[in-house]
Amino acid sequence: MPTAESKTIQILLFEDNAADADLVAEYLDLSRLDFTMTVVKRLADGITQLKAQHYDLVLLDLSLPDSRGIHTLSSIMDASTGEVIIVLTGDDDEELSLEALKVGAQDYLNKDRLNSEVLRRSIRYAIERANLLHRLEAHTAEIQYRESLLRRIFDANTDAMLILTQAYEIKFLNPAAGSLLEADPNQLVGEIFPFEVQASEVTELEIPDQNDLTRIVELSAVDLIWEGESALLVILRDITQRRHAEQALKREKERLSVTLDSIADAVIATDQHGLVERLNDEAARLVGVSNKEANGRPLEDVLKLKHPKTGKKIKDPTSALVDPNFAEIPSKLGIQLERADGKTLNVTAETRCILDDEGHRHGCVTVLRDITQQKKTEDELFQAEKLNSISLLAGGIAHDFNNMLTSILGNISMVRIELDEGHKHSTKLVAAEKAALQAKSLTQQLLSFSKGGAPVLEVTTVSEMVEESAQFILRGSNVKCSVEKDEDLWAVDADKGQISQVVNNLIINADQAMPEGGNIHIHIRNLHVRHAEVPTLNSGQYVCIEVNDNGTGISPENLKKIFDPYFTTKERGNGLGLASSYSIIHSHKGTITAESTLGKGSTFRVYLPKSPHLLTAPQKPITKESKKPAKETIHRGKGRILIMDDMEAMMMVAGEILTLLGYQVEYSTNGDEAIAAYKAAKEAGAPFDACVFDLTVPGGMGGEEAANILIKYDPDLIAIASSGYTTSNVMSNYKNSSFKAVVPKPYRIKEMSDALHGVLNP
């Protein structure tokens, strides 16, 4: 920002009175300031100028044709990029002037008392104040940054650090200091440090600990500025170990053998020449060499490591692991260990050397930990993340595909309704419509795979999908399958795609449990479950799907974990099959249990609640003898309908369908547009009789949010949800939402006519 006299000042004047503008220009000329000035008469024009160009100074009249009072200043502040603002007014209003200064103006001048000197001083002081405030803000931010940086450095430091005032009051201490002083750091803040401190001097203190033992602590201090005041940085180091180094070194080898054999990690001890002195049992197992075979050999002959990034052999493991730059790698990626039998494991490795007071190496201890299983788990997690990404992609494809199918079905339906039953192309249209409806099953598979949202429930029986799954999964297998089912099986409320996925998983597991062949017996029956008879299941009526095999069985230890995500005993398994099955069944308000005996087989039982609704008889297919396609009942109506859909082709087809049914239609492409259109129509006295909202609008407000907003505005809102893919529960449970009905995509003209007829003629 320039000073008032260092360069040409770019001025933007808001003044609709030409005489006043000329007067300001004259005063500026007399003030001897070097300036250029742009004059605007309206607030909107000035905001446009501010967005297009940066100005050093804004002279603002609060009374403009398109804005008045403090609102004018607020609008300029919102558009400003750091310009200095001086308010000009013809009103002698002290309250307004104070409010203007609070909002952000640097000065307030009355036009009646304005002259060149007053204007010059005001401009100079305003710019200087703005510069000063800017420097002050930058300085404050710099101080805050430096103190924040110091705090992070202190917190990360392993040395105990305290900051004291000149009166020895503790202002700050890091976690290491709290640990050393055996106290909560927060409780020590504000206390007086009990020892004398001299800057630039090193002293030793004896501090008793909770065990009545004495620790020797080295204390040093330096002066610093903390929170703008003089302070002392005190550093405490526990040097008790260093004082007893000679004694500890003598006892180290004696304790080493006991220590090595008592810990679970693999430990290898080497002498000052890098020769193996000892390795514990876990180390012997890990490297594949016994303690006797390794003793006296160079470490690199026993511990064959490869760099995790390059795969090259590490010739000197001790030096590599002691190198601080290399030491960061094991904790993150692991190192490859080549065993004596040629097998490769993933391990973490860390080396600590035994040094004397002069820094000479007397030996080293290398600690290894097998993370092969951990790496496998991480890889499985990565695969699961990939699967989740693919699931999202599948859901997106299903969404777009359902929109396209709706467009196709809608056009076919509109043509069919206008053709006579005997028309030569009527049968072909029926065939095309059937093909489009069959394509709907593909989107259902994609939706089932994507696992998005709550299950889309429908009243169905499970026997047919169980039999189809068994035939499909076991085709070509050496495993036989028999299905037994009760007569008059109850219907259940289920998402067919998701339940099929569960049954598929159970049959696949049973098949894989019998690699040499065997029998799978599936029994589907009605059950009355009493209280606590099945864990986590409420008493009531259920349909039970029981899958029994005579395979290898599951151990009791593994049986407890089979429904845990990523738990698997298979080399190429991902541990997601049973976990996802468990989640699906619980989302259907049921449960799944497992029983198994090693060597005898396993039994899985799926419990699904009986549906309170009766199963509708399936529609009879059109036989070959049918010469004419059956005409379906189409409900025509009248009224104004608002359609919201982000896909233009889908929106236009829906509009044509509704127009054909007799309705007047208006369109919107997202929730914001729909809300605005609905409110405008109601306020104009021509309200919409119903709305048809797409639930999913990529990058914009969807139908559910729009309906929730509109029903607060108009409790009599009649809205229909239409979607082919959504993570919402609306399509499966619309009665607990702002919608009166749902029409899943893809739909035909009949489904839409039925839905509108139902909500408009209750």
Q: What is the mean pLDDT of residues 17-27?
A: 87
CATH of 9-136, one of 3.40.50.1820, 3.40.50.720, 3.30.70.120, 3.40.50.2300: 3.40.50.2300
- Say what the pLDDT of residue 443 is: 58
- Among candidates 583, 597, 486, 600, which has minimal Cα distance to 543? 486
Q: From start to end of 196-316, where are the E strands?
A: 202-208, 214-226, 229-238, 266-271, 276-279, 305-306
With cut-offs at 50, 70 and 90, classify the pLDDT of residue 707.
Answer: very high
Rounded average pLDDT over 371-386: 63
How many residues can be counted in the chain? 762
Provide CATH code, domain 640-760: 3.40.50.2300
* Fold matches, 157-243 and 245-370: yes
55-59, 436-440, 710-714 — which is least confidently predicted? 436-440
| Greater pLDDT, 632 or 318 | 318
- State the greatest distance between any 2 C-alpha atoms of the chain, in Å, as a whole number: 109
Q: In this predicted structure, what is the pLDDT of residue 550?
A: 92
> What's the CATH fold of domain 157-243?
Beta-Lactamase (3.30.450)
pLDDT band, residue 722 (cuts 50/70/90)? confident
* More confidently predicted of 55 and 438: 55
> Looking at domain 462-609, what is its CATH homologous superfamily?
Histidine kinase-like ATPase, C-terminal domain (3.30.565.10)
State mean pLDDT over 82-106.
83
Q: What is the pLDDT of residue 620?
A: 43
In this prediction, residue 626 has a pLDDT band, given cuts at 50, 70 and 90, of: very low
* Confidence (pLDDT) at 438: 56
pLDDT of 91 over the 90 cut: no
Going by pLDDT thresholds of 50, 70 and 90, the confidence category of residue 541 is very high
Q: What is the 3-state secondary structure (H, E, C) of 303-326?
A: CCEECCCCCCECCCHHHHHHCHHH
Residue 561 has pLDDT above 60, yes or no: yes
Summarize the confidence of residues 158-167 as an average pLDDT: 87
Give the DSSP H/E element, type plus range, for residue 721. strand 719-722
What would the two tokens of residue 140 be? 């404050």
Beta-carbon contacts of 636 under 8 Å, excluding residues fewer than 6 positions away, are 661, 662, 753
Predicted confidence band at 617 (pLDDT cuts at 50, 70, 90)?
low
- 443 versus 28: the higher-pLDDT residue is 28
Q: Using 50, 70 and 90 to split pLDDT, how confident is the model at 250?
A: low
pLDDT at 398: 62
Band (pLDDT 50/70/90 cuts) for residue 390 is low
Question: Distance (Å, rounded) from C-alpha 87 to C-alpha 353?
Answer: 73
**Is 429 a residue whose pLDDT tops 70?**
no
- Judge whether residue 12 has pLDDT over 80: yes
Contact 496, 465 (CB under 8 A): yes
**Has residue 6 got a pLDDT over 70?**
no
The sign one gets for the Cα dihedral 399, 401, 406, 407 is positive
Note whether 748 and 413 are within 8 A (CB).
Answer: yes
What Cα–Cα distance (Å) separates residue 205 from each residue in 21, 157, 196, 200, 236? 77, 21, 10, 16, 9
pLDDT average, residue stretch 126-144: 80
Map out the domains of the chain as residue ranges. 9-136, 157-243, 245-370, 462-609, 640-760
The pLDDT mean for the chain works out to 81
Q: Residue 264: CA atoms inside 13 Å, Cβ hemisphere, count?
A: 2
Which pLDDT belongs to residue 122? 85
Contact 237, 218 (CB under 8 A): yes
CATH annotation of 245-370: 3.30.450.20
Q: How confident is the model at residue 641 (pLDDT cuts 50, 70, 90)?
A: very high
pLDDT of residue 70: 86
Residue 655 pLDDT: 87
Q: What percent of the chain has pLDDT over 70?
A: 82
| For residue 344, pLDDT beyond 70 | yes
Most confident of 209-213, 314-318, 339-343: 339-343
Chain centroid offset of residue 690 CA: 36
**H or E segment and range at residue 119:** helix 116-156
Mean per-residue pLDDT for 85-103?
Answer: 82
In this predicted structure, the answer to whether residue 695 has a pLDDT above a threshold of 70 is yes
Please give the pLDDT value at position 629: 45
Query: 441-450, 556-565, 696-705, 716-725: which has the minimum mean pLDDT?
Result: 441-450
pLDDT of residue 449: 47
Instruction: Give the per-residue pLDDT at 257.
Output: 67
pLDDT value of position 625:
41
Angle between helix axes 749-760 and 372-418 (nearest 10 degrees) is 80
